[in-house]
A and B are shown apart, each in its own frame.
Chain A
Amino acid sequence: MPEPTTTLWEVFIRARNGLSHRHAGSVHAADAEMALQAARDVYTRRGEGLSIWVVPSAAIVASDPSDKDSLFEPTGSKIYRHPTFYEVPEDVGNM
């Protein structure tokens, strides 16, 4: 019989200062400290990061892919939110 499941953690890594943390993968660990150590061993063997976040996977709330249309489609029709929607004469120069 498989043993009881250890907590799954999502790992986010900041590659260098100036960049935001980015999802790298996940690890299993009994607590946060061990999750950080595991994340360091598994995801930063070649200087991939300067900072690591670990978050219990169960703490992440995700949008439902089947709500994709109602959530994101309305922005598709709002082209007036983009700068190219507006006309500026060429002799005015860059704006």
Chain B
Amino acid sequence: MYSQALNNAPAEPAADDPRFQARIDAEDRIEPNDAMPEAYRRTLIRQISQHAHSEIVGMLPEGNWITRAPSLRRKAALLAKVQDEGGHGLYLYAAAETLGVSREELVDQLLSGRAKYSSIFNYPTLSWADIGTIGWLVDGAAIMNQIPLCRCSYGPYARAMIRVCKEESFHQRQGYEIMLTLCRGTEEQKAMAQDALNRWWWPCLMMFGPPDTLSPHSDTSMRWKIKRFTNDSLRQKFVDATVPQGLHLGLTFPDPALRLDETTGHWAFGEIDWDEFRRVLSGDGPCNRERLAARRKAHADGAWVREAAQAWAAKQAAGREAA
């Protein structure tokens, strides 16, 4: 979206430049060639590229079940969903590139292990019910996070998120439908659904990031309207929306502290294991090594295709020059 070539490096305002903040406060959108503080640019490159990496790595746990989907209908839906996630990654890489970073740099950051991606994708998909749970909960949590990003102050990111959000709703609904089918099925099928919920519930709550008291980037991101809601408020919204859906399935949540607070109308929930979150994020989750190895292999296996495409393009260009 807009060429890096268009970036003609305007004079850069300071991080607390009142004119820049006034534009943000007036809900003006910042576009690629506009002057922006270096810290705003860096924050966005970090956030958008982490988001892109998450979409790409997120294809792996679900891709694991494409060949073993229980019916052609489920297989077609899962294939389309995983393809969408690849598309989301590409929209987001393109949005990050408008800030002056190259695609190759971003891919390199992921493959070398320097870049982060969502902790949730470092958990394994052990049964078919995990595919239902991911669509219902992981995409459900992603939607909660992404809807406010459609109004992000940075134009290309906001536009990419509008596209993404339009596609996400199908993801969540197909997941919930899988859960519904399992929960209306045999005892074993329902037990499978319950087991998947038990394993995924807490990691899904961690998807919203550290609690507000410990969230390092939150304040400036809110001031710059990159972020519109705090981690804790989005997490609460997600719990409030999701618990009734789970109860409708006849499932129980793996949290004895979960209860509806009659006075606030919100579902109160138990303590999240932030040590586990930090462990998984720093590389020590159940599947971190496997995920990165799969991405590295895919990239290495595709090298000859990229080389051939470049060679073909160069040959064609040379031919045109000679003619």
Residues of chain A touching chain B, judged by Cβ–Cβ distance below 8 Å, are: 1-6, 8, 10, 23, 25-31, 34, 41-42, 45-46, 57-58, 60, 62, 64-66
Contacts and interface: CB of A to CB of B under 8 A. Distances in A.
Contacts of B160: 25
A12 B16 CA distance: 36
A26 B2 CA distance: 7
A35 to B, nearest CB: 10
B34 A65 contact: yes
Interface of B: 1-6, 8, 10, 31, 33-35, 80, 83-84, 87, 90-91, 94, 97, 102-105, 107-108, 160, 163, 167, 306, 309-310, 312-313, 316
A45 B87 contact: yes
B156 to A, nearest CB: 9
B104 A3 contact: yes
13 contacts: A25-B1, A27-B94, A30-B313, A31-B316, A42-B87, A42-B91, A45-B87, A46-B167, A62-B33, A64-B8, A64-B10, A65-B31, A65-B33
B1 A23 contact: yes
A86 to B, nearest CB: 32
A58 B1 contact: no
A64 B34 CA distance: 9
A41 B167 CA distance: 14
B11 to A, nearest CB: 8
Interface centre among B3, B10, B107, B312 (most CB of A within 10 A): B3
Contact of B107 (A2, A34, A64): A2
B108 A2 contact: yes
Contact of A60 (B3, B8, B10): B3
A57 B312 contact: no
A64 B9 CA distance: 10
B3 A57 contact: yes
Contacts of A29: 309
A4 B314 CA distance: 13
Given A4-B104, A34-B309, A62-B6, A26 B84 contact: no
Nearest to B95: A25
B312 A26 contact: no
Contacts of A57: 2-6
A29 B103 CA distance: 12
A58 B167 CA distance: 30
A69 to B, nearest CB: 14
